[in-house]
Amino acid sequence: MVDEILARPSASEPVRRAALNSVEKAGEFNVAAHGLRGLASIMVLGAHILGGTARHIYPANESYVHAIEAPWFLGVFGVKLFFVISGYVILPSALRYSIQEFAQRRFLRIYPLFFVASVVFITLNYLTNEYPKTNNIESIVSGLLFINLFTGTEQLTPNAWSLSYEVMFYALTCWVVYTSVKRPNAVAAALAWAVSLVFLAVFPISIFFLAGALIRLFGSRITMGTAVLRTFEATLFFATAYSASRGVFDYTLSDFSNPAALGALIFTVSYFWLAVDPRSLTSIIFNNKFSKYIGAISYSLYLVHPYAYYFVRRVFIQLQLFTSDVWFSIAIFGLAVFVASVGLSHVAHILLERWPYNWYFHQRVYRTNSVE
């Protein structure tokens, strides 16, 4: 069925060939992309541990605040890495499935966990009013519907701001694929592309999604030798880490004049292009059970770890475990937060990711024998 749709002569030959190649590889498990998903979630977790303690526990300790600045910047950048990965893995789904099934799969993949986390946030915020800007009906409805980008309100549960961009990427990708490839129509396709370009212009951070999608379409054509590929890959990895650690980049239009922000974008995309090659060092490093497990629970880890962090922080404060030995305290605290976050994420992954998806589609979220 997919082959027949993509083989229609009304679609341009280059697009059809690239799209068909993408669909054929849709079911393939990419070790590097999966492992980097886990790495990105740990980066964001690390950013919360370091940034949170610098702000709430040791704000007067200038040496600590200064020391964690670059690692904190790097951790925050993990969200952008998520966006590239999303662009890479979502395009094949949009090509493979009908609009209805694509929407169902995306909904069951992200919404149950998001909804439960949002309800927890709404309840706690109602009781404490810690975030008054989101303690109103408009913010709650906009957040739950992922339309806060257009209402000017904030997203609800911590880290969920990125999901609003994710959902828009899903919708626009599905629209473009349907009008350009599955049911080609010049007028409809032009409109879909125009709206997508407007969204890109208004929200330039979405360029990370686009980059991931382009790598999926055209990035498999790497002809360099293995040794050369790995050398460039390692170099680009460190270049990415250095550039990303230079500041927090929101990727508004003004950020593109910042050499560090532009470098972080270019280096990240270039590194990812090489990393997803089966011969890459990244594929070798992440080809282990722990990396595959963290990759599997990465979405849960990304959304629920702020709650584990907040709970553990309160316990440490109550027990006076934050001492003058700053780095020892942070090491113990970080370990406790990581263990609590992984434990909570494991439960959330089983109940709110795997179970709804498996129950409806009778298949795993990640179809590989190496995971779960």
d(CA 242, CA 263): 9
pLDDT tens digits, residue range 8-64? 444 445 555 555 555 555 457 899 999 999 999 999 999 999 999 999 999 999 999
Which residue matches tokens 């396709």? 189
d(CA 173, CA 192): 9
Q: Which residues contact 150 (CB under 8 A, 6 or more apart)?
A: none
d(CA 252, CA 246): 16
Structural contact between residues 33 and 90, judged by C-beta atoms closer than 8 angstroms: no
pLDDT tens digits, residue range 303-355? 999 999 999 999 999 999 999 999 999 999 999 999 999 999 999 999 999 99
Q: How far is CA 203 from CA 102, 165, 252, in A?
A: 24, 9, 7
pLDDT at residue 370 tops 50: no
For the chain, the farthest-separated pair of C-alpha atoms sits apart, in whole angstroms, at 71
Residues 234-262: what's their mean pLDDT? Answer: 96
User: 226-244 vs 69-76: helix axis angle to the nearest 10?
Assistant: 120
* Cα torsion 72, 53, 68, 285: sign: negative
User: 207-218 vs 161-177: helix axis angle to the nearest 10?
Assistant: 40
pLDDT tens digits, residue range 353-363? 999 999 999 88
Residues 127-148: what's their mean pLDDT? Answer: 95
